[in-house]
Amino acid sequence: MTTLLVAGATGDLGRRIVRELLAARPDAVVRVMTRPGSGTAHSLYGEQDRVEIRVAAYTDHAALVAALSGADVVVSAVSGARAVILGAQRALLAAAVDAGVPRFIPSDYSADYRRVSPGTNRNFELRREFAAYLDATPVRATSVLNGAFADMLTGQAPMILFARKKVLYWSSPDQVLDFTTKDDVARTVAHVALDDAAPRVVEVAGDRVTARSIARMMGELTGTPFGMQWAGTTAMLSGAARIGRRLSRDEEATFPAWQGMQYFVSMFSGEAELQHVANHRYGQQDWTSVRDVLAKHLQVDAAG
């Protein structure tokens, strides 16, 4: 019987990963690890037969080792800035090593952070820094890289100005942008967790679009033309993010506005574009396209 441990299983992506793991392998036990006082693990998973709940603080190495012991893979879906991506994940990794867990999936789930220029994307550089620790242990790691979450195009990632009928772009409207929905990412993570032969990095993209193709798509979906709006160069956006970061008072915020700008810098500069997309690694899958996400959003909007 396979034991899969998910840290951050009470989060948005973590819950989806647990659901996909349970669906993918009826013989698997999913162990969720949550922090003391976090609260929601018991209400989410208390009634589920194949889910075990372990409570441990990331500062308590012995409790972490006990929680991880016997697991075949650790799937991290924790979220945060330095204190989490490096702090909590290094504690989790140290426990995985001492507990003899053979495999580890870090909480990456992003565009390709490996080549971004230093100083241009804080969250990506934290992942790169953690990867260096991970690669120096005997644990076999697999990172899942998926571009941006497509779900964010309808709100959190303000690239489509729905009311003004414009699609923003920086530098080039023809830069390829990778997007994958959270559900498609979670299904991929479950496949990777159950794949003992998974390579160091698995890249997937539910869809690959450009600002130009999104504008065309929005025109077709709404019956009204959408224009493209040049918002500056990626260098200008990077400068604005740098100023925003300097003025911000909370370096530990996970997704401050300046970090959102940095995400667009990495995507529109092409530095974070996926280069080895392997959507067929786990056979034929139904990938949700950007068009599907936008069509659903427009239907909901029209109904509401």
Residues that bind ligand NAP in the complex, under the rule CB under 6 A: 8, 10-14, 34-35, 38, 41, 58, 77-80, 83-84, 88, 107, 109-110, 148-149, 152
When the beta carbons of 81 and 215 are compared against ligand NAP, the nearer one is: 81
Q: 109 or 268: whose CB is closer to ligand NAP?
A: 109
Residue nearest to ligand NAP (CB): 11
- Decide whether 57 or 243 has the Cβ nearer to ligand NAP: 57
Q: Which residues partner with 24 through β-bridges?
A: none
CB of residue 77 to ligand NAP, shortest distance in Å: 5
Q: How far is the CB of 190 from ligand NAP (least distance, A)?
A: 15
**Nearer to ligand NAP (CB atom), residue 79 or residue 288:** 79
- DSSP assignment of the chain: --EEEEETTTSHHHHHHHHHHHHH-TTPEEEEEE-TT--HHHHHHTT-TTEEEEE--TT-HHHHHHHHTT-SEEEE----SHIIIIIIHHHHHHHHHHHT--EEE-S--BS-GGGPPTTS-HHHHHHHHHHHHHHTSSSEE-EEE--EEGGGGGTTSTTEETTTTEEEESS-TT--EEEE-HHHHHHHHHHHHT-TT--SEEE--SEEE-HHHHHHHHHHHHSS--EEEE---HHHHHHHHHHHHHH-S-TT-SS-HHHHHHHHHHHHTSTT--SSB-TTTTSS--PPPHHHHHHHHHHHHHH-
Least distance in angstroms from the C-beta of 33 to ligand NAP:
7
Identity of the residue, 210 or 243, whose beta carbon is nearer to ligand NAP in the bound complex:
210
Tokens encoding 58: 């990331």
Pick the closer one to ligand NAP by CB: 79 or 262: 79
Q: Which is nearer to ligand NAP, 14 or 256 (CB)?
A: 14
What minimum distance in Å lies between the beta carbon of 8 and ligand NAP?
3
For the bound state, the minimum distance from the C-beta of residue 303 to ligand NAP, rounded and expressed in Å, comes to 26
